[in-house]
Structure 1
């Protein structure tokens, strides 16, 4: 029996026993499982960030890896519990609440099955409907990773197109101006990660060391407008200076050298947070 890798993600934190309970369930299924974590520090209820962290991580794991992602503000309601298979034959066990938005668009999902809880639910888990991460997702993920069940035995197949998702517009270039969104933060350092690919940015024909204008809007309100240097790394800017660079996902990032851009300018993430980049320099706006 082939045993695959099992990787957990949640918004549970590690200040109580929730994550440990999920580990315990998985190891009770098969003590040979190799378990790792993406993160358990997703902000509570932030399904968007859970979706992005899967995109950030899943493509770098081997085929056959099983991921369990639990960011589930609708636990106990009628949202579906599912397992999906990606184009690289990895599996994600998760509630169907938008968590798969980025993977579906950027990586590809080939099949979806709804978890049959009459078979794939932790025995003796009673009538609890508030900890599906332990009772349904960790248990099902462990059984799948351990080879006790295969994908077809998860439950009935449902259409890929029926998955719940968020609006996820692509970055675009028009009239020498790129428009995108702030998709996520590089949390520990406060850098902004955009959805603007390096390939689109390169169409502005900006050389390393040249400056571009960056404008950031939250809805209809402009919150930042200034020029900054395009650099290879943070060493290409002075202490506290803004920099635009290519991040580890080959998209454009915005940073302050040894400071948090997000905290300094109170920047958030998601579809409402738009960013515009162009070559013309403007006078610094006062806020």
Structure 2
């Protein structure tokens, strides 16, 4: 079997040796394996963000690439470990805790298997129950990427319907308003990334240069209300001004040119954070 890349994601950070130990386990399986980091800065226990970062990355990697995602607040419990093959033939090994929510909905999963934690475990690690990222996930991911095992050897096939998913809300249009969730932040720049697709948005006959009414809610509390222009790029708006744009995933983003929208207005992410937009009404 040919060798494929191994891509790691976790909420471990890089302030201690946890990620380094995962690298060591993988290289012990095969010293020629190619290992890459998606991110290790997922907020601690934040399964939703882990799910979205996989969506942001997985489909851009070649077929056969193996992803290991370890955001695992239930480590040591009865939660399952799983491996899936996506519809575009990448593999993801992760706890069954909702980490596959966005990939399942938007990219598609072709096959899922429950990882046999007895057979697929780092030798002499049987008494360790708190670092499955090293002892099970990195070890199994490296063996799969290096061709030491095939996908079918990871464990028995399980129903796709049995996979745990997080609650989500589809974007929708009602009374000229389009409403969606603020799924994630473009962290370094503080931009808001929504689940409102460009395709759905354009059904409202809105064009670049149009002014939009924007309302952001956290549950039932209004956090922000303003008029914002819809523009093609950040260069189309003055520094310090807000804008609506189409992001790299072909969804709507909200930003401040050379500023942090999220920081300025204390905006968070997830199912409770919702944004509604409509074309500004002209005054007569």
After TM superposition, is the score higher than 0.5?
yes
Contact 1:12 1:41 in 2 (8 A): yes
- Alpha-carbon deviation of 1:126? 3.5
Partner of 1:168: 168
CA RMSD of aligned residues (A): 1.0
Task: Provide the C-alpha distance between the structure 1 equivalents of 2:176 and 2:202, rounded to a whole number of angstroms.
Answer: 11
User: Which residue number corresponds to residue 81 of structure 2?
Assistant: 81
What whole-Å deviation, never above 9, does each CA across 1:184-228 have from its counterpart, x for those lacking one?
000000000000000111112222112101100000001001111
CA deviation vs aligned residue, 1:222-277 (integer Å, no higher than 9, x gap): 10011111111111111110000000000000000111100110000001101100
Unaligned runs of 5+ in 2: none
The residue that corresponds to 2:10 in the other structure is 10
Q: Does 2:152 match 1:152? A: yes
Tell me if structure 2 keeps the 8 A contact 1:9–1:69.
yes
2:204 equivalent in structure 1? 204
For residue 58 of structure 1, what is the aligned residue in structure 2?
58
2:141 is the alignment partner of 1:128: no
8 Å CA contact 1:3, 1:32 repeated in 2: no
Q: Distance in 1 between matches of 2:71 and 2:90?
A: 19
Aligned pair count?
A: 282
The answer for the alignment partner of 1:106 in structure 2 is 106
Q: How many Å separate the matches in 2 of 1:277 and 1:229?
A: 11
Alpha-carbon distance, 1:175 to partner: 2.1
2:19 corresponds in structure 1 to 19
Where 1:136 maps in the other structure, the secondary structure is: helix
* CA shift for structure 1 position 281: 5.0
Query: In 1, Cα distance between the equivalents of 2:63 and 2:18?
Result: 28
Query: Are 1:143 and 2:143 counterparts?
Result: yes
Deviation at 1:174, TM superposition (A): 2.1
* Distance in 1 between residues matched to 2:100 and 2:126, nearest whole Å: 29
Distance 2:143 2:55 in 1: 23
Q: Does 1:277 align with 2:277?
A: yes
Alpha-carbon distance in 2 for matches of 1:126, 1:53: 31
| 1:72 counterpart SS class | coil
Q: Distance in 2 between matches of 1:176 and 1:281?
A: 10
In structure 1, stretches of 5+ residues that fail to align are: 283-287
Report runs of 4+ in structure 1 exceeding 3 Å deviation: none
- The CA distance in 2 between the partners of 1:54 and 1:24, in whole Å, is 23
The Cα offsets for residues 152-204 of structure 1, whole Å up to 9 and x where unpaired, read as 10011111100010112211112211010000000000000000000111112
Specify the alignment match of 1:97 in structure 2. 97
